[in-house]
Chain A
Amino acid sequence: MGTLDTEILVIGSGAGGGITAARLADAGRRVTVVEEGPWVDADAHEPFSLGEMVTKYRHHGASLALGNPNIAYAEGRCVGGSTEVNSGLYHRLPDSLAADWEARYAIDGFTPEELGRYADRVERDLGVSTLPGAPPPSSAMLERGATKLGWRNVEFARVFRYDAAGRGTKQTMSRTMLPRALGAGATIVADCRVQRLLRQGDRVVGVRARRRHPGGAVERLVIRADHVFVCAGAVETPALLQRSGIRRNAGNGLKMHPTVKIAARFPHPIDHGDVPMHRVTEFAPSLTIGGSASRRGHIAMALADTGLPFDDALADWQNISVYYAAIRSDGSGRVLAIPGLASPVVTYKLTDGDLSRLARGIVHLGELLLAAGATELHPSILGGPVVRRADELGAWWDALTRSRANVMTVHLTSTVRMGEDRHRTGADSFGRVWDHRNLRVNDASLLPDAPGVNPQAAIMAIAARNCDQFLAS
């Protein structure tokens, strides 16, 4: 049994934890970051490859929120968290949402201007840019289809830096904020899972953790800290709070962007190395259309969603790419830590309005892909039908039912909401957990709702804002 002492303990090293570690270490604080997952060299795996999925994702990428239907979800579990495995798409929190959240949850000083200032700094630190050249064919298909239909579309910026030759590198936490924290004197402990917080009255005095050493030996560890920041993501953060006896507004109100997909076959080859950076925003904010990772494995999984034979299509996988429609959902879910189980039970309830929005999304996505020149559409609906002509798309409305829809998500938020309305929030306006003096949450859990766009920009800006407030207090 080992012990460690630190001034500030950051649990989790993703978008929230990475920013927190770097900013507090930069300010001269003594910071220790613990990360449940392994430290994987950012260049060790091809992006979106099977190897990446096995090493960097929780449950090897096969997590499940229970409900009718169940919803598959994926999150990173490695040093750098989901920033290591996501597409890098970066979209600031829409101003209208910031204003809405400020009013609805009474979040102090949560103004578009203030968030904008923090976003500016995050963007300077990380590097956020659009593609220097022409988009790859997978992305150009979105642009082409949308242009034909007169639908708004935009190339989203990504957390990428490009070299003189135009070669891009995703600016993940393990490439940016975590090295910066190390440079400022922070310690990062990988393969170390925090089991519970040690509380004494209104203070957290430390945590109990298990650290897995190379070779498999497991060390039980106590880490004493003056301040604890929980940044383990919207599933693991509330689970850790619950395991530690903090249950009020921790784990309920889970939000996500439920997503349905189409594997689209074109009469020409499509690239498979990158994720399309174009988004169709015509139907935003209720639904957005974009492209997914489309390696051969992803294509096979997407084709298999219909349960119909797909050998012919898979043989032609070079011409296929996977696209999605994601919705803002009225439903919500919860995270429940169960004693004796390592992973919490996650549930999510889609409303009838949500199901209808998913159907609308997949029909619009189908229109777009046919307009872009796709010849065969395989929807994520059990039993299909596979569609080849526009007049067949309407069949998807009735085909997409609770029992036949294959729904997934990569964005989970809102399990420890922030704001001064104590009835509806688990933490104050700056992430301090209610009734605790030195315990803070600083990740996706704080967002009061799913933002309708990739959430990492909002998570990072909010985390940076909370760090400044902590340092000033």
Chain B
Amino acid sequence: MSAPSVPAGAPAPVAVVTGASGWLGQNFVRTLAAQGRERVRCLVAAPDEAPPLELVSPTIETVTGDVRDPATVDRLFDGVGPEAAVFHAAAVIHPRRSVRELFDVNVGGTQLVLDRARRGGAARFVHVSSNSPFGVNPGPDDVFTEESPYNPYMGYGRSKQEAEQLVKLAHDRGDLGTVTVRAPWFYGPYQPPRQSRFFSAIRKGRFPLVGDGTQRRSMVYTGNLVQGLLRAEVADKAPGNAYWVADAEPYELREILATVRRALAAEGLGVSGPERVPLPRAAARAAELADALLQGRGRYSQALHVLGELNHTIACDITRAREELGYEPTVGLEEGMQASIRWCLEHGERL
């Protein structure tokens, strides 16, 4: 990675990471440890998530518990000392029980971590957000910028919008230097099981291509996103702002599917079935409607939610992250997908 040219300070010796055992968290915590930070204090949700992180480096300390619980977040910050960098990645994307969970964790958890970070005198608070507060682009050629207005996509979008607003408020009233990093769809190592199903469906020619597949999606390789978070920690211009952090350009959906098939083949996995399983847009619209109806009654179906979103262009422009954070994505789709697939194979996943 070339040295970024934007004005920036030094990274904090101590980092606090929530959501440390998640998809992004696993990648991020390993990078922090490899950088030689003095201490990396991690919040994980369940006891069996702690040992794999503790194994990575003696500088990694774990706290197990619920990000909504004041006593847990107190323990997370206990003895951290001032001037730490706080990275808040804990969130629920696909709730297990009810839509309410999205708000409890994504808003309630953010408020608590913000509060403890402020009281602990944190040097910076980097908040991981999403494209969902902005909904979908009006047309396939549109992209979101930092000026795009909020237009939240269902319960998750509303919860992440409310969280972003709390983060911004904390900066604006002088509590804390906060930065929001908005990441679209990720890919990369340490992926959850749902992503293995994504690969396996594409491999078997069962993943639906909604419409003609020219709708575009921004995606972000986890390694690129990790770089974005680290830049947000140090860049002088960052506090008070939000940035889109994604791969260099958005991809057409048909290109994503074709690239994944090529990457699977390159890793020695034979692909079968048709490259395209066309699904009429009406079917995706029906799924979207069903998802909205269900969420209106407090319930959630991951399959309907994902299918409903596939119909749309969700693309962003990373110009401001490049200019103000010195962010420069180094990994592209094919290389990143190959790395993901390799990780799956090395970890015994069956695709």
- A residues contacting B by CB (< 8 A) are 149-150, 282-283, 286, 352-353, 355-357, 359-360, 363-364, 367, 390-391, 393-394, 397
Contact = CB atoms under 8 A, between A and B. Distances in A.
A390 B100 CA distance: 23
17 contacts: A149-B119, A150-B119, A282-B115, A352-B98, A352-B102, A356-B100, A356-B104, A356-B108, A357-B107, A360-B104, A363-B68, A363-B70, A363-B108, A393-B69, A393-B71, A394-B70, A394-B71
Contact of A360 (B72, B111, B155): B111
Given A359-B108, A394-B69, 14 more contacts: A149-B119, A286-B166, A352-B98, A352-B99, A352-B103, A352-B155, A353-B162, A356-B103, A359-B104, A360-B111, A363-B70, A390-B71, A391-B69, A394-B68
Contacts of B69: 391, 393-394, 397
Interface string B84-115: 00000000000000111011100110010001
B118 A397 contact: no
A353 B163 CA distance: 12
A135 B261 CA distance: 71
A264 to B, nearest CB: 16
B74 interface: yes
A357 B155 CA distance: 14
B182 interface: no
Nearest to B298: A352
Contacts of B298: 352
Contacts of B119: 149-150
Contacts of A367: 70
Nearest to A391: B71
B27 interface: no
A391 B103 CA distance: 21
A360 B108 contact: yes
A394 B107 contact: no
A319 B70 CA distance: 26
Nearest to B166: A286
Query: In this complex, which of A286, A352, A353 has the most chain B Cβ atoms within 10 angstroms of its Cβ?
Result: A352
Contacts of B104: 356, 359-360, 397
A390 B155 contact: no
B155 A393 contact: no
A394 B72 contact: yes
Contact of A352 (B71, B74, B100, B111): B100
Contact of B111 (A149, A283, A397): A283
A283 B165 CA distance: 12
Q: Lowest 5 CB-CB distances: which A-B pairs, in order? A: A394-B69, A356-B103, A391-B71, A352-B100, A360-B108
Contact of A390 (B74, B99, B118): B74
B159 interface: yes
Nearest to A360: B108
A352 B69 CA distance: 19
Nearest to B106: A356
B39 interface: no
Contacts of A364: 111
A283 B115 CA distance: 10
B24 to A, nearest CB: 23
A356 B118 contact: no
B66 interface: yes
A311 B72 CA distance: 33
Q: Which of A286, A367, A394 has the most CB of B within 10 A?
A: A394
B31 to A, nearest CB: 30
Contacts of A356: 100, 103-104, 107-108
A370 to B, nearest CB: 9
B216 interface: no
B68 A397 contact: yes
Interface in B34-50: none
B158 interface: yes
Contacts of A357: 103, 107
Contacts of A352: 98-100, 102-103, 155, 298
Contacts of A390: 70-71, 74
A90 to B, nearest CB: 23
Given A149-B119, A352-B98, A353-B162, A360 B107 contact: yes
A274 to B, nearest CB: 29
A356 B105 CA distance: 9
A289 to B, nearest CB: 13
Contacts of A286: 162, 166
Q: Which of B70, B98, B102, B159 has the most CB of A within 10 A?
A: B70
Contacts of B70: 363, 367, 390, 393-394
A391 B69 CA distance: 8
Given A150-B118, A359-B108, A360-B108, A353 B71 contact: no
Contacts of B162: 286, 353
A359 B112 CA distance: 13
A63 B108 CA distance: 31
A356 B298 CA distance: 12
B235 to A, nearest CB: 27
Contacts of A149: 119
A105 B294 CA distance: 31
Given A149-B119, A150-B118, A393-B69, A353 B103 contact: yes
Chain A CB within 10 A, most for which of B66, B104, B119, B162:
B104
A283 B219 CA distance: 34
Contacts of A355: 100, 103
A131 B158 CA distance: 40
A393 B70 CA distance: 7
Nearest to B73: A394
A353 B68 contact: no
